[in-house]
């Protein structure tokens, strides 16, 4: 029988886990042609999530878990899952049931019968989400698709089912600054996009503030595009041209009209303007430098504190 691994990153999910487990059991029973393992990744939860997972793993041998020594973020949690998933097929899903487990049978059918390497999901609606958040999310997808080769569909979720080959490709990407939506697109393979209506969280609350999402989006751009660096260079070139024209203009004016001392205000404005542009560009370069700094340190993505599987390091 083929094995399906389900990776579930959990950060303070004690309220939603019982619902998820129950629903997963229902789905797993209905898919009797497959074997399953559920990989709960406890991402340094401060509530009773770990206790719950431990209890589940004692009761049900399909339940595996890895518990981090602190909160390393959802990206690290997903990576830990991929590194330890043994399935012929692997799926990642949120613990809050916003990635409905009931889609799994359909996803498995598509991947097997229609010969795709992965089945990914996208939300076609964003009901229940603050409108500004949706607006910025849309702009982000437009922008990143224009300026990078990480092909990301608007409304794409991290919820997808993949063949082993694709999981191996993801595990082989050991970068420290991870942006999974970009990585999934970057590695290629044939992906089927399954649309579904947005589902609201079953319990608990979102772990993403607007600010956290904004930083995450910036990260995505910096990780998958060099365009901001080109913008910095373009500013440099543009300003050099403007300065050359101004120099010629001033020399001509001096020769033709003579030059009473004048114009300190415009000089001050120019200095401030150029200073601003320079700092802005240095900021962009700094962002890339900071990422490079973190990459070269080659720190592990996560530290395991406790687990019931043997192989837990990548
Ligand atoms: N999550 C995590 N580590 C974090 C933040 C979130 O493992 O630092 C998990 C969380 O438990 C959930 C999933 O990532 O299973 C998605 O988080 P959430 O539902 O809060 O995000 P949203 O759906 O609101 O974008
Ligand atoms: Mg959610």
pLDDT digits (tens, 9 = 90+) for 134-144: 888 888 888 88
For 99, the 3-state DSSP assignment is coil
Handedness of CA 106, 108, 109, 110 (dihedral sign): positive
| pLDDT > 70 fraction of the chain, expressed in percent and rounded | 97
Residues enclosing ligand 1, CB less than 6 A?
9-11, 13, 43, 71, 73-74, 77, 94-96, 98, 206-208
Q: Check whether 10 has a pLDDT greater than 90.
A: yes
- Can you give the pLDDT at residue 311? 65
> How close is the Cα of 311 to the center of ligand 2, in Å?
28
Task: For residue 104, give the nearest of 17, 15, 4, 189 by alpha carbon.
Answer: 4
- Can you give the pLDDT at residue 268? 83
Instruction: Classify residue 163 by burial, with Cβ atoms within 10 Å: 0-12, 13-18, 19+.
Output: buried
φ/ψ region of 80 (left if φ > 0, alpha if ψ in -120 to 50, else beta) reads: alpha
Helices 74-84 + 164-172 axis angle, to 10: 120
Q: What is the mean pLDDT of residues 157-161?
A: 89
Residues 10, 46 contacting (CB under 8 angstroms): no
Which tens digits make up the pLDDT trace of 267-290? Answer: 888 888 888 888 888 888 898 998
Query: What is the reported pTM?
Result: 0.80
Q: Which atom of ligand 1 is nearest to the CA of 12?
A: 11
> How close is the Cα of 201 to the center of ligand 1, in Å?
10
- How many Cβ atoms from other residues are within 10 Å of residue 60's Cβ? 14
Q: What is the mean pLDDT of residues 237-244?
A: 88
How many whole angstroms separate alpha carbon 24 and alpha carbon 18? 10
- Can you give the pLDDT at residue 131? 82
Q: Check whether 89 has a pLDDT greater than 90.
A: yes
7's tokens: 């990776």
How many whole angstroms separate alpha carbon 140 and alpha carbon 208? 16
Where in the chain does DSSP place strands (E)? 2-10, 34-42, 63-68, 89-92, 118-123, 156-163, 191-196, 304-307
Our CA dihedral for 299, 305, 223, 162, rounded to 10 degrees, sits at 130
């Amino acid at each position: 029988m083929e094995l399906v691994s389900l990776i579930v990153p959990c950060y303070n999910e004690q309220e939603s886990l019982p619902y998820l487990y129950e629903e997963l059991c229902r789905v797993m029973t209905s898919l009797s042609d497959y074997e399953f393992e559920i990989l709960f990744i406890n991402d340094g939860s401060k509530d009773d999530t770990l206790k719950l997972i431990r209890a589940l793993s004692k009761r049900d041998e399909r339940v595996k878990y890895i518990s981090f020594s602190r909160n390393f973020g959802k990206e690290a949690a997903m990576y830990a899952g991929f590194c330890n998933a043994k399935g012929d097929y692997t799926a990642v899903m949120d613990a809050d049931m916003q990635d409905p487990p009931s889609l799994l049978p359909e996803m498995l059918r598509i991947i097997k019968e229609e010969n795709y390497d992965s089945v990914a999901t996208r939300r076609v609606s964003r009901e229940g989400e603050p409108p500004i958040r949706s607006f910025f999310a849309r702009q982000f997808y437009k922008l990143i698709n224009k300026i990078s080769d990480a092909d990301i569909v608007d409304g794409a979720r991290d919820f997808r089912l993949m063949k082993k080959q694709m999981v191996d490709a993801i595990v082989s990407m050991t970068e420290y600054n991870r942006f999974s939506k970009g990585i999934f697109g970057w590695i290629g393979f044939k992906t089927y996009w399954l649309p579904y209506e947005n589902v609201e969280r079953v319990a608990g609350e979102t772990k993403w503030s607007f600010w956290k999402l904004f930083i995450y989006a910036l990260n995505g751009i910096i990780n998958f595009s060099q365009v901001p660096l080109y913008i910095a260079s373009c500013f440099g070139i543009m300003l050099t041209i403007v300065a050359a024209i101004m120099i010629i203009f001033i020399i001509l004016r001096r020769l033709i009209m003579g030059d009473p001392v004048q114009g300190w205000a415009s000089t001050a404005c120019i200095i401030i303007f150029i200073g601003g542009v320079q700092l802005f560009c240095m900021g962009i370069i700094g962002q890339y430098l900071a990422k490079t700094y973190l990459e070269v340190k080659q720190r592990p993505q996560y530290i395991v504190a406790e687990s019931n599987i043997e192989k837990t390091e990548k």
